[in-house]
């Protein structure tokens, strides 16, 4: 059992939790994820680590309450327990040797990007951070990111924060002004990451993306998280989730992610094996 030591509502539907998980906190690195079960009869869901505190023995999760299980998780309070947490899983992000980077994140991808931003900052790298949201009311963690960056740009689709446009426009502006990056890290919705890679390919800048396919077992056995990278099938849960964005088949990944969109909209599901 894993005790919730802190809970904070970042918005109406987005929650940040700190959870006691000593063994995971000791080993976790940026880019890795966990799989949790809210209760012993619940489904297993993956969640990328939004942070960890080795001294306190806690991990941080940021999630949006959009489905049945995330709503169950969001209903828990400080002092309550999560039944099972497995991790850390996946390969950590490769950040060694980076001296100047652009970190581009959109939507809830910012939760995944925060550990990378902190690791780059702690290593002394110069980092330009570009965040994208649909509107000003959805902006999250901008102050936290500002403390870890050399520059921060926050874009909104509707311009309600005074900066209308997409993250790619902000990144292109920096490149046109002569920004020379060792790497660009893009984390967020698949179409956004694809657009970033299309841009950086023309500038020959190495670009890493964090893939978010359907993950079931987290050990590479089920094949649900497969992605095609440079024409070769990879499993995001064990080979990733980070990959060379210029080699990812984004069109295939987008099609696969849409396969279960109707089922994801259902609040309840009856198991075909047990009837539960």
Indicate whether 185 and 52 sit together in one domain: no
Distance, in Å, from the CA atom of 229 to the CA atom of 4, rounded to the nearest integer, reads 37
Asked if 63 and 194 sit in the same domain, the reply is no
Q: Would you say residue 50 lies in a domain? A: yes
**275 domain residue, yes or no:** no
Each of the 276 residues of the chain gets a pLDDT tens digit; together they read: 999 999 999 988 899 999 999 999 999 999 999 999 999 988 899 999 999 999 999 999 999 988 889 999 999 999 999 999 999 999 999 999 999 999 999 988 888 899 999 999 999 999 999 999 999 888 889 999 999 999 999 999 998 988 999 999 999 999 999 999 999 999 999 999 999 999 999 999 999 999 988 888 888 888 888 999 999 999 999 999 999 999 999 999 999 888 776 666 655 566 655 666
Q: Does one domain contain both 250 and 212?
A: yes
Check if the beta carbon of residue 133 is closer than 8 Å to that of residue 155: yes
Predicted TM-score (pTM) of this structure: 0.90
Write the CATH number for 230. 3.40.50.80
Decide if 95 contacts 131 (C-beta within 8 A). no
224 and 111, same structural domain?
yes
∠ CA 113-210-89, nearest 5°, is 90
For residue 276, being part of any structural domain is answered with no
CATH number for position 83: 2.40.30.10
222-233, pLDDT tens digit by residue? 888 899 999 999
Decide if 126 contacts 103 (C-beta within 8 A).
no
Query: What is d(CA 195, CA 76) in angstroms, rounded to the nearest whole number?
Result: 37
Domain holding 43, by residue range, is 2-89
52 domain residue, yes or no = yes
Q: What is the pLDDT of residues 81-121, one digit of tens each?
A: 999 999 999 999 999 999 999 999 998 888 889 999 999 99
What is the C-alpha to C-alpha distance for residues 91 and 89, in angstroms, rounded to an integer?
7
Q: Are residues 131 and 78 in the same domain?
A: no
Both 188 and 235 in a single domain? yes
251 shares a domain with 117: yes
**Is residue 258 classed as helix, strand or coil in its secondary structure?**
coil
Task: Report the domain count for the chain.
Answer: 2
| 58 assigned to some structural domain | yes
């Amino acid at each position: 059992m894993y005790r919730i030591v802190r809970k904070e509502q970042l918005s109406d539907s987005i929650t940040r939790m700190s959870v006691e998980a000593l063994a995971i906190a000791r080993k976790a690195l940026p880019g890795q994820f966990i799989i949790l079960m809210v209760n012993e009869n619940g489904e297993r869901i993956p969640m990328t680590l939004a942070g960890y505190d080795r001294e306190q023995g806690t991990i941080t999760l940021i999630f949006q309450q959009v489905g049945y299980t995330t709503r169950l998780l969001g209903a828990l309070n400080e002092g309550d327990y999560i039944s099972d947490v497995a991790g850390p899983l996946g390969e950590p992000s490769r950040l060694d040797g980076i001296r100047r980077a652009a970190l581009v994140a959109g939507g809830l991808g910012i939760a995944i990007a925060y550990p990378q931003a902190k690791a780059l900052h702690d290593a002394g790298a110069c980092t330009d951070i570009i965040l994208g949201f649909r509107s000003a009311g959805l902006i999250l963690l901008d102050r936290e990111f500002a403390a870890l960056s050399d520059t921060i740009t926050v874009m909104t689709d509707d311009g309600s924060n005074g900066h209308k446009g997409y993250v790619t426009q902000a990144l292109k502006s920096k490149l046109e002004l002569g920004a020379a990056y060792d790497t660009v890290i893009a984390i967020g919705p698949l179409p956004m990451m694809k657009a970033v890679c299309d841009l950086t390919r023309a500038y020959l800048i190495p670009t890493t993306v964090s893939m978010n396919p359907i993950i079931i077992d987290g050990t590479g056995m089920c094949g649900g998280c497969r992605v095609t990278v440079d024409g070769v099938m990879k499993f995001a849960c064990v080979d990733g989730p980070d990959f060379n964005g210029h080699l990812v088949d984004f069109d295939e990944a987008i099609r696969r992610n849409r396969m279960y969109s109707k089922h994801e909209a259902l609040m309840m599901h009856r198991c075909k094996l047990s009837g539960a």
